[in-house]
Chains A and B, each alone.
Chain A
Amino acid sequence: MTHNAINAAIENVSRRHFLVKSAAATGALSIGFQLPGIAGAAPAADSAPEITHWVVIEPDDTVVIRIARSELGQGSFTGLAQLVAEELQCDWGKVRPEYADVNMHIRRNRIFQSMSTGGSRSIRDSNEYIRKAGAAARQMLVSAAASQWGVPASECRVQDSVISHPSGKSTTYGKVAGLAATMDIPTDVALKSPAQWKIAGTSPARFDVPAKTNGSQIYASDVRLPGMLYASIVRSPVFGSTLKSYDESRVLGMRGVKQVVADEDWVAVVADNWWRANKALLALPVEWDESENDNVSSDSIMQFLRTGIDATDVPVARKDGDVDSAFANAAKVVEAEYHSGFLNHATMEPQNAVALYTDDRLEVWCGTQNGEATIASASETSGIPLENIIVHKMHAGGGFGRRGGHQDYTKQAVKIAMAMPGTPVRLQWSREEDMRQGRYRPVSLVKLRGALDKDGNWTAWQVRQADQSIIITVRPNMIENGVDPINTRSFADNPYKVPNFVNEYAMRNPHVPPGFCRAVAHTNNPFYRECFIDELAHAAGKDPYEFRRPFLEGTKDLPLLDAVARQIGWDKPAPKGVHRGIAVVDSYGSYTAAAVELSVENGTVIDVQRVVVAIDSGHVVHPDSVKGQMEGGVIWGLSFIMHEEITIDNGRVVQGNFTDYPVLKLAQTPKIEPIIMPSGGFWGGVGEPPIGAVIPAIGNALFAATGKRIRSMPLKNHGFSYKT
């Protein structure tokens, strides 16, 4: 394809975006994409001046703010832009966020720093350097105006992209951007204190919302390129098994089918319409090699975890005081075992990616939580150098950790595209493939013991965890002395000031691939911890809220616990038939608590009426997005505890769709009462923290209502359901 043909060719991907990519190309490359000139600092917005690599200002005063993280619906496009705009003191109405180009990032020595969008880190990790970029750009623009006017920069004032001088002179950012771009970027810039914020800390309308209300938002699964074909894929259902055989002759004659592409452990059918590709895939005879994992089941995994609980000597994550003598002197000892199974992200948009391979170049369109991981995966898979790969980041139809480092779908799409040079192919996983090829929230089994003295004071506790490590599969050097620092969270870093405590950790890794799933260990450990503390409180004959308080004295957790107790009305009796539960959890740098009210009909039908959830994330950039994450987090918590479980039989995932992996629906949504109470002075995450406390608060309220202590999720396995 020629350069011009390509311009005409992009059917529905932003034409401007494509032109940007090709603007700086020199000479006619005979392929489906053009690289910006390797040598030059090709700005993202045509030839408009790049003030810093984060800020480009167009002559009409449009401020393009580059966003290195991904928009998954959590509001990063808006929140990150607010932080830059705050320091830049530009007109918010002229701001347009754009994805920082992944290829430019690579060519300019990873200039955008981390592109990873996970761990609720987008704002807390990057706020300082992007605010500094905004402040630096403002200084450069002011210096440019001052030098044009021959006045000291310190005499100039800035408001909403307008620079003025007491003499009456005035100009705009767009007019001086060209000159500003030639200046050195100051490194020593002062930042405003959050008390001075005008844009950050408010809730302007999110940039990504309008296109999401009329079908015009193009996700990777909506990308259409001329001549594009569609692929559906099946990977070995027993994780780790390999492809033995398949009989393509049975499907090649089916209407629309173009090719069958196979790899070591998958096979894909490519056709001119996805439904045809998938229909042929379902008709394709496929055999997989046998493996030792063929007999693994959820029960056998549970037995495997039990070996960790029963082991005599396991690594210790944390030890305080003298646990043994505290237990020896206890008036009462409480013991309990908790567990939960695998969970799937089940992003609304099943995994997918578009790839176009020609000669020694590659172009990929995908929803990703990490553009850098995408380009690296594409390069590794294809052997094509990073410089020759273009990644088009598309807004993702949900991420929750599934679209992070693994990039399995990108690798597959690249392989398929390489089997069909010159033809763009969109690999679209079926929902069934998405359910069965997850990177699952791991299984865990935890034994807890607690000691109470004769006055019912909590004197010691012991936590023995047996679970599957995620981090060992991606960053094994983080494992120290056999302890997984992520899976032990909310135990090893718990805030309770109990003098005697030990957290033992036994790693047990089954063959099911684990992954980071929104809130990660805080989807289960808080359930274990906070329900067990509730057990201790009841054993001590104390109120569960009052029982916790003295052990949290002086922590940042306590005000959250108090806030939800106040809001739910803990000091007053609940309405007749209504029962309450409470829990407190800190995670991802933020502090949260939840209190709920529910009633139970016929002993099994749970009617959750109110969920109060509070967060202290230190600073808040976009309160309405924080509220949105809290609302969504409550839904996740309610969904996990009642419905969600991936089970394993014959080495493979049993569930295949929302029919057997149900998730919470609107009719089961309670009244949600979010409390945002930033105390300042730190930057905490927001995407994940709201989930953790909701789950145990439900478990504790359920105990209050029924006298049944449920120690494993999901509740449906115990005969419970939600009222609809």
Chain B
Amino acid sequence: MTSLNVNGKQIEVDVEDDMPLLWVLRDELGLTGTKYGCGVAACGACTVHVDGQPMRSCVMPASALAGRKITTIEALSADGKSHPVQKAWVQLQVPQCGFCQSGMIMAATALLERNSNPSDADIDAAMTNICRCGTYARVREAIHLAARSV
């Protein structure tokens, strides 16, 4: 049994020690907002926050996260729309297919947590997620917009 703190709830899961957090979230807990895109930490679709830091959950065994605070896209805001980053994303109509966007938003919110006014270079360095639809220009703009509004 691993005891996890997910979105403010203490949860016991009975999984193998090497099962990545991603599959605990998606298949055991039904938190499907966090996506599988590569499984090798290359795309960022699976990004969640662990103690406020962005983490690619596809390569992080859940068993290593006991006692850490895990936040997924579902818990970013209580109503699913009021986080400044979510608002900026809607205002600038960032998503296309949307499949990368949970990870994008989790990476962006973590960036803004540690740097409330990131430069383009800061955004370049922090936002290494893949968006196959090519929404990068709007992602960058939306991060600036969110930074201005907090």
Contacts and interface: CB of A to CB of B under 8 A. Distances in A.
A274 B24 CA distance: 10
Contact of A349 (B35, B73, B86, B140): B35
A210 B39 contact: no
A47 to B, nearest CB: 31
Contacts of A215: 31-34, 72-74, 80, 102
A636 interface: yes
A250 B7 CA distance: 38
A664 B22 CA distance: 24
Interface string B5-26: 0000000000110011011001
B124 A667 contact: yes
Nearest to A629: B96
A428 interface: yes
A213 B105 contact: yes
Contacts of A25: none
B42 A346 contact: no
Contacts of A398: 97, 99, 132-133
Interface in A187-207: 205-206
B107 to A, nearest CB: 10
B140 A666 contact: yes
- Contact count band on A: 35 or more
Interface string A342-372: 0000111110000000000000000000000
B102 to A, nearest CB: 5
Given A255-B16, A274-B23, A667-B125, A212 B95 contact: yes
A214 B20 contact: no
Contacts of B132: 346-348, 398, 400, 663
B22 to A, nearest CB: 8
B43 A348 contact: yes
A131 to B, nearest CB: 24
B42 A657 contact: yes
A217 B35 CA distance: 11
Interface string A603-647: 000000000000000000000100010011111100100000000
Nearest to A631: B137
A216 interface: yes
Contacts of A347: 97, 99, 132
A274 B77 CA distance: 28
Interface string B48-79: 00000000000000000000000011101100
Given A12-B32, A221-B32, 9 more contacts: A11-B30, A73-B97, A272-B27, A347-B132, A348-B97, A430-B39, A658-B43, A665-B129, A665-B130
Interface of B: 15-16, 19-20, 22-23, 26-28, 30-40, 42-43, 45, 72-74, 76-77, 80-81, 86, 89-90, 93-102, 105, 123-125, 127-140
26 contacts: A72-B97, A209-B93, A214-B76, A214-B80, A215-B33, A215-B34, A217-B98, A219-B99, A221-B35, A221-B36, A272-B27, A397-B98, A398-B97, A399-B97, A430-B39, A431-B36, A631-B138, A632-B96, A633-B134, A658-B43, A659-B38, A664-B134, A666-B128, A666-B131, A669-B136, A669-B137
CB-CB nearest 6 A-B residue pairs: A215-B33, A635-B134, A212-B98, A73-B96, A397-B99, A73-B97
